[in-house]
A and B are shown apart, each in its own frame.
Chain A
């Protein structure tokens, strides 16, 4: 049973370009969470999605960032017009349901570097 798959593992972009980060949840998991980890910091919540729905995006910057989790395919975190401050590790986690009793399983993260 494959775990949470994130790709790419490393992504390099120049300022102003777009970054697309993908997350395939564990089989049978329909809840996806995205977190961002800045250097020397803990993970910060960005957005919580279920299939075809954004449930909570309170941690996501209002501009340039968007997320989706379509009926088919992986969840995508999209960052438009990237800036240096977007450099971070982005983690995806999935769970079979939304209840806190069900632990979140994390992917290995995508390390985004902005030149």
Chain B
């Protein structure tokens, strides 16, 4: 079974600064997908960024980027120029490649953004 570990229950960052959220996972598969989801207080689940394991290039979406280290099974999220609206729970998730596999989530990191 695949497990996803987020070792930081809470993180804090000042507005305009950069913060990195950690995620490690365990799998015996060689091809899979990794995701970061954001859950604000409204409890929506919003896809932030996605990485395909066979791609060596790190994914980037505006202020959000990842550091994907396949050998180390690490998938951290970097948020640059943090904004108050970035405050939320952030969940790392793994999905096996192929048909019909569900997302496997970590327990989440609560990000606080201070003015």
Contact = CB atoms under 8 A, between A and B. Distances in A.
Band of interface residues on A: 20 to 34
Contact of B98 (A33, A43, A100): A100
Interface in A59-99: 59, 89, 91, 93, 97-99
A98 B103 CA distance: 12
Band of interface residues on B: 20 to 34
Given A45-B102, A48-B102, A56-B102, A100 B44 contact: no
Interface of B: 4, 32-33, 35, 37, 42-47, 50, 52, 91, 93, 95-108
Interface of A: 31, 33, 35, 40-45, 48, 55-56, 59, 89, 91, 93, 97-101, 103-106, 108-109, 111
A44 B99 contact: no
**For chain A, what secondary structure do more than half of its interface residues adopt (helix, strand, loop), or is it mixed?**
strand
Nearest to B43: A109
Nearest to B53: A100
A93 B93 CA distance: 14
